Amino acid sequence: MKKVIFRNIAIVSAIFTVSFSVMLIANYFQIKDVNPLQTEVAETLKQLNDGNANNPMLQEQIRQLDLLARKAYFVSFNRLMTGVYILLGMLAVFFVCTHFYFSGNKDVPDKDIDPIDEWAVKTKARKYVIGGALGLAATALVFVALSSKSLTPNSSPLERGESVITKAEENQTTETDLFPDTSSQNLSPDPSPQESGESAISETQETAATETPEVSTVEKVARPVVSKVTHNAFRGNNSDGISLAKGVPVKWDLNGGVNIAWKRDIPRKGYNSPLINGNRVFFTGADEQTRELYCYDLTTGDKLWSLVAANIPGSPERLPETAEDTGLAASSAATNGKQVCAIFATGDLICADMDGKKLWAKNLGIPDNHYGYAASLLTFGDLLIIQYDNQKSARVIALDIATGAERWSKSRPDKISWCSPVITYINNAPQLVLMGTPSITAYNPGNGEQLWRVECLTGEVGASACSANGVVYGASEYSRLIAINAADGSVLWENIDFLPEVSSPVATKDNIYMATGYGMAISFDTQTGTVRKEHELGEGFYSSPIIADGKVFLFNTDGKVHIFSADDEFRLLDSFETGEQTFATPAFTDGKIVVRTNKSIYCVMLISASSK
């Protein structure tokens, strides 16, 4: 009876052994050319995240795709190993049962088998069966080893079990994280030797390319870790006025050098705002002689390169007339981390790689604008977005940022304006929002399709839109503040109190923060549009408010800094003078602020007394 049981178990285990061996061999041929973590997919996710580094909703979607891909990797590997364990277990059962089944039998010496010698035939067959099972199992294990190599990570971050959205994971925060309790003022990043401020304020310092002693010093000092928090356009990555920077300084003295990492005179005049990407700072300048795009080192303040807008077909021989407070370089540049582009009041548009190599240039036509062209550029993935609203024609253009080729262009029924495009996400879908006269309009940034349009503005529109929680807000002096449901373009409410001239508002889920040309800083309830708090601060504002590290940072035209709590209370936490007129909006990254004044550009960083 026992022999029958051992025989039956041996037969079943042999069937399982053969089945799993065949499955493991087939698994090899299935996965040898198909990796569950395809490098191309990982790179696509990385590019999409780089182009939208300041969009939490999109980054959450990328995060979920990333997790699914990594889960696929580990599930595939775990299933493979489970198959190996089952195969080895079935082999063990087969050998044990076979051993006990034949334990009472004895082998006979090799001889010519008599066809009628049944016992000898079965003995020989037993050897073939066991040998065949062992051979098949060994073959399966060889293919398992080859399959493991196919699953072994060797290239992409996903294949290493890492996330392609490291930036998103470091930058992603909840609203509570964005706006923490501002009663705590622990803003002390660990300054590195390179950031210690040694010789940081020397205005006679030349560029790194011409100063051998400074280059030598830099080479001896380990460079600091560069923050992944970028500021890629006017008012931030999506031009929305919200930065994910942490540890931002809240006090500095420009004249005394306190918490000033470096300061440089600006080469040429301009009212555009600086950008930060990695360890690079970008801004532009122009005068009657030339128009230039500049790149400075964020850590040292050294000028890395400049690119002149010259020899561009269609560029006007005679410069257009502009107002004193607009000039030839009022538009801020934009970057996606691979290319950086700049536009000037001549209509000249230039693009370079991150090392300053000119990629392309073109003239969009001389702007017909009595103050001067002032709309800033914006990037969306591999697109460069340009709002080109002039006296006789208005249009929005999307160019391939790498080549300058037109991807789409749409005429607009609006009149001249000086505002800039904004990207917002509604129900996880991007919208390109443009202010104008007389409308606020949303487009699909991928193809230029108009999504909705609300005619609601009058006068000369200079402030840009903002958005939060699915609602777009627009405001302009001598017009109104309006809230629009961006899902369908319906108007939620309007208010005609305290309107901005140039400074653009910024919004959170609960509050809108705004600064006027006559010196008022105000907060509004996003649900009703009623005024919550107001501060009369004297001098007016051109610079736009930026929310960073739970606070609202605001510069008036005299360069006085006002810092408020980014909450319902909108408390004035501090105010102090810098001594230099400031029309531009500052750029933020972790532990640092870059400010462009009418005379200089400087970097604010918390510097301990011992490091000086």
pLDDT at residue number 19: 77
- The reply to whether 575 and 470 lie within a common domain is yes
pLDDT at residue number 65: 66
pLDDT at residue number 182: 37
Using an 8 Å Cβ cutoff, are 99 and 106 in contact?
A: no
As beta bridge partners, residue 339 has 353
Read off the pLDDT of each residue in 601-607 and give the average, rounded to a whole number.
Answer: 95
Confidence of residue 86 (pLDDT cuts 50, 70, 90): confident
Of 223-232, 271-280, 509-518, least confident by mean pLDDT is 223-232
Confidence of residue 170 (pLDDT cuts 50, 70, 90): very low
Residue ending a domain, choose from 130, 152, 171: 171
* Percentage of the chain lying above the pLDDT 90 cut: 61
- The reply to whether 135 and 188 lie within a common domain is no
Read off the pLDDT of each residue in 62-84 and give the average, rounded to a whole number.
Answer: 62
- The reply to whether 122 and 229 lie within a common domain is no
Helix (H) or strand (E) run with residue 308 in it: strand 303-308
Rounded mean pLDDT of the chain? 81
Maximum CA extent, the chain: 117
pLDDT at residue number 611: 56
- The reply to whether 120 and 143 lie within a common domain is yes
pLDDT at residue number 488: 96
The domain tally of the chain equals: 2
pLDDT in tens, 201-260: 233 333 333 333 333 333 344 556 789 999 999 999 999 999 999 999 999 999 999 999
Considering only residues 500 and 132, tell me which one the structure prediction assigns the higher pLDDT: 500
SS3 call for 600: strand
pLDDT in tens, 32-54: 554 444 444 555 555 566 655 55
Of 35-44, 189-198, 509-518, 572-581, least confident by mean pLDDT is 189-198
- The reply to whether 77 and 97 lie within a common domain is yes
Closest-CA residue to 463 (of 504, 518, 513): 504
* Percentage of the chain lying above the pLDDT 70 cut: 69
pLDDT at residue number 10: 73
SS3 call for 281: strand
Closest-CA residue to 473 (of 516, 444, 510): 510
pLDDT at residue number 191: 37
- The reply to whether 442 and 557 lie within a common domain is yes
Using an 8 Å Cβ cutoff, are 598 and 188 in contact?
A: no
- The reply to whether 11 and 127 lie within a common domain is yes
pLDDT in tens, 541-571: 999 999 999 999 999 999 999 999 999 999 9
- The reply to whether 107 and 15 lie within a common domain is yes
CA distance 55 to 66: 16
At 118, list the tokens. Answer: 């049944």
Confidence of residue 98 (pLDDT cuts 50, 70, 90): confident
pLDDT in tens, 451-477: 999 999 999 999 999 999 999 999 999
Confidence of residue 99 (pLDDT cuts 50, 70, 90): confident
- The reply to whether 201 and 148 lie within a common domain is no
- The reply to whether 167 and 211 lie within a common domain is no
- CATH (domain of 537): 2.130.10.10
pLDDT for 122 beyond 90: no
Range of the domain at 555: 175-611
- The reply to whether 73 and 147 lie within a common domain is yes
Using an 8 Å Cβ cutoff, are 339 and 382 in contact?
A: no
Residue ending a domain, choose from 139, 171, 203: 171
Of 93-97, 241-245, 291-295, least confident by mean pLDDT is 93-97
| Neighbour tally for 467: CB within 10 Å | 25
pLDDT for 117 beyond 60: no
Residue ending a domain, choose from 171, 199, 215: 171
pLDDT for 593 beyond 70: yes
Closest-CA residue to 546 (of 582, 493, 497, 498): 582
- The reply to whether 369 and 333 lie within a common domain is yes
pLDDT at residue number 58: 60
